[in-house]
Amino acid sequence: MLLTQVIDWSSSIGRSFVYLLIFIACMALAYYATRFFTAKARGTPYGNLKVIEGLGVGQQGNVLLVKAGKKYILIGVTKERITFLAELGEGDLNLNEPAAPAKFESYLKKFMKNKKSEK
């Protein structure tokens, strides 16, 4: 009786371990699949088309800066249509790396400084 209980207990641990390994493998597969498809959606940096920047306008509209070959094109994108807005030259653009987004710490310091000045 005791021997069968030990065998049942060890098989349930083994089964749980196998389920855990399967879960981890599925999560890793989902992570790498997401990275792969995101890279495909953005396009390769060596192709002829690349979305340089985008800005949401309203609930369903976007303005996109697209590099097509050596030209920069500004387009408006909505659910119903895509509209050509302008063609820009490199001299019209600031193509430097975007500034890193501010960290929470900087917002907190600014907030605390404003709170102290209110007193």
By residue range, what is the domain housing residue 61? Answer: 44-94
| Same domain membership, residue 68 and residue 50 | yes
| Same domain membership, residue 89 and residue 48 | yes
| Same domain membership, residue 37 and residue 1 | yes
| Same domain membership, residue 66 and residue 32 | no
| Same domain membership, residue 89 and residue 50 | yes
| Same domain membership, residue 34 and residue 52 | no
d(CA 19, CA 29): 15
Count, residues in the chain: 119
Q: What is the tens place of the pLDDT at every residue in 2-32?
A: 445 555 556 777 788 888 999 999 999 999 8
Q: Is 21 inside any structural domain? A: yes
Q: In the chain, how many domains are there?
A: 2
| Same domain membership, residue 51 and residue 19 | no
pLDDT at residue number 3: 46
Q: Is 118 inside any structural domain? A: no
User: Strand order of the sheet with strand 49-57?
Assistant: 49-57, 61-68, 71-77, 82-88
pLDDT at residue number 94: 77
Residues of the chain predicted below pLDDT 50: 1-3
Q: Is 108 inside any structural domain? A: no
Q: Which residues contact 99 (CB under 8 A, 6 or more apart)?
A: none
Provide φ and ψ at 70, rounded to 5°: -110, 5
Q: Is 110 inside any structural domain? A: no
pTM above 0.75, yes or no: no
